[in-house]
Amino acid sequence: MSLCKDRVVIITGAGGGLGRAYALAFAEAGAKVLVNDINLPAAEAVVGEIRAAGGQAQANNGDITGYAAAGEIVRQALETFGDLHVLVNNAGICRDRMFASLGEADWDAVMEVHLKGHFCLASHAVKYWREQAKGGVAVQARIINTSSGAGLQGSIGQSNYAAAKGGIAALTLVQAAELGRYGITANALAPAARTGMTEQVFAETMKKPEDGFDYFAPENVAPLLVWLGSQESQAVSGRLFEVEGGKLSIADGWRRGPERDKGGRWQAEELGAVVEQLLGEAVPAQKVYGS
């Protein structure tokens, strides 16, 4: 399989779970992979697996939450492999609390790793790709972000995580709208898979079966990443994919629903009946996870 032959890919949080599955799948598809993880031995272990299978990879433990450090991650990919084509923003953390008990440190930590981490690396990658495009290179670059079902519909006990993941979904839409002129696509996914984070909460639900199809295996998500990272996906941008087991779907985002136009200013006393009518016509939102 050579769908991504010689394409250079940075994957964050690739020392285990989904990131490891992505790294192995990209390498199998012919890509050259920079395996980023804050845990350097874990990143090096994945690199070892890739090289043992005949692939090309390099380990990196740069800090995705620092702007200058993120620039060094991109620089390493360029110096090691000579180019960059795909950025997979996968790294994440959880600091779950009910909102009434959520502290500032828990809020800031999740925003920093998820939202700021997505920004820092993408900013450096985009600047590189924009300069290529301005220089006449036919760029076919990819940003692949990681949102979550929690970001799409909320999740009890995860207000910080849900807010960050919802922000990533919106960021993806803007990146897609702005960056297409340079040959860059931006898509996101909301994966349901067994990882270090999900096993803490859904250990019984997501445990590996003794036989048969491993529904929550991270490897089930990886083929979509490989395709999105390939040149074949150039026409697809600004989409959010949900992946679970053998299921693949495209999330239907926020859009304007039913409306009433008075042609002038509403009075507060009028709005109760009007809102009741609109709610009766609107498609009900999905329930918040855990509610």
User: Dihedral angle at the C-alpha atoms of 62, 63, 64, 66, nearest 10 degrees?
Assistant: -130
DSSP state of 268: G
The amino acid occupying position 234 is: Q
What does the pLDDT read at residue 279? 94
* Rounded distance between C-alpha atoms, residue 120 and residue 108, angstroms: 16
Examine the pLDDT at 203 and tell me if it is beyond 80: no
> What is the value of pTM for the model shown?
0.91
Where are the strands (E) in 54-177, listed by range?
56-60, 86-88, 141-146
* Rounded distance between C-alpha atoms, residue 242 and residue 94, angstroms: 20
- For the stretch 243-282, pLDDT in tens is 998 999 999 888 899 999 999 999 999 999 999 999 999 9
**In the numeric block, which tokens belong to residue 225?**
């990443």
Task: Enumerate the active-site residues.
Answer: 148, 161, 165
pLDDT band at 154; cut points 50, 70, 90: confident
Q: How far is CA 90 from the centre of its chain?
A: 5
Domains and CATH numbers, the chain: 8-250 (3.40.50.720)
